[in-house]
Amino acid sequence: MATLFEKIRDGEIPSVKIYEDDVCFAILDINPVNKGHALVISKDPVPIFTEIDKGKLDQMIAVARRLDEKMRLSLKADGTNIMINNGPASGQEVPHLHIHVIPRFEKDGKTPIFSKEKYAEGEMDEMGDLLRL
Ligand code: AMP
């Protein structure tokens, strides 16, 4: 079954499109964290970012970077959140790779996206050993 973003890609569902190339397109999120919240969406309907060709991912990241610059200029954004919900466990609602680019403003009143944990004694070093590349 086609994903929501394939239907948007193919024009079956309307969107406000702000960019398109051979690899990806960008639209405004219908429920923005702040107005101007954009999604850079892969044309390939892969669910997570390890499943897309690395060159294509690089191209999507370059588009997210351009949108960051545009939001600072055109919206006078003070910063951005650039994030990928990568798989259902991360809160991903649409199983089709997309990068959120969210304009942020000093004192915009949005709650932090994540609540944070504390490591027990020694646990951070163990985690470092598990994840060191
Ligand atoms: P995620 O939770 O990372 O999968 O994000 C999916 C995003 O798609 C959410 O932020 C939704 O607000 C957004 N969304 C859902 N339906 C539409 C739509 N028809 N047009 C634009 N954005 C949408």
CA angle 43, 29, 106 (to 5 degrees): 125
Structural domains in the chain, CATH included, are 4-107 (3.30.428.10)
Which pLDDT tens digit goes with each residue over 57-103? 999 999 999 999 999 999 999 999 999 999 999 999 999 999 999 99
Query: Counting atoms of ligand 1 from 1, which one is nearest the CA of 91?
Result: 2
Which pLDDT tens digit goes with each residue over 29-65? 999 999 999 999 999 999 999 999 999 999 999 999 9
The dihedral sign for the CA sequence 108, 82, 42, 26: positive
Residue among 82, 93, 98 to mutate when testing ligand 1 (max atoms within 8 A of CB): 93
Torsions phi, psi of 42, nearest 5?
Answer: -70, 145
Looking at residue 112, its pLDDT comes to 76
Q: Which two tokens stand for residue 11?
A: 């024009």
- List, chain by chain if needed, residues with CB within 6 Å of any ligand 1 atom: 4, 13, 15, 27, 29-31, 85, 91-94
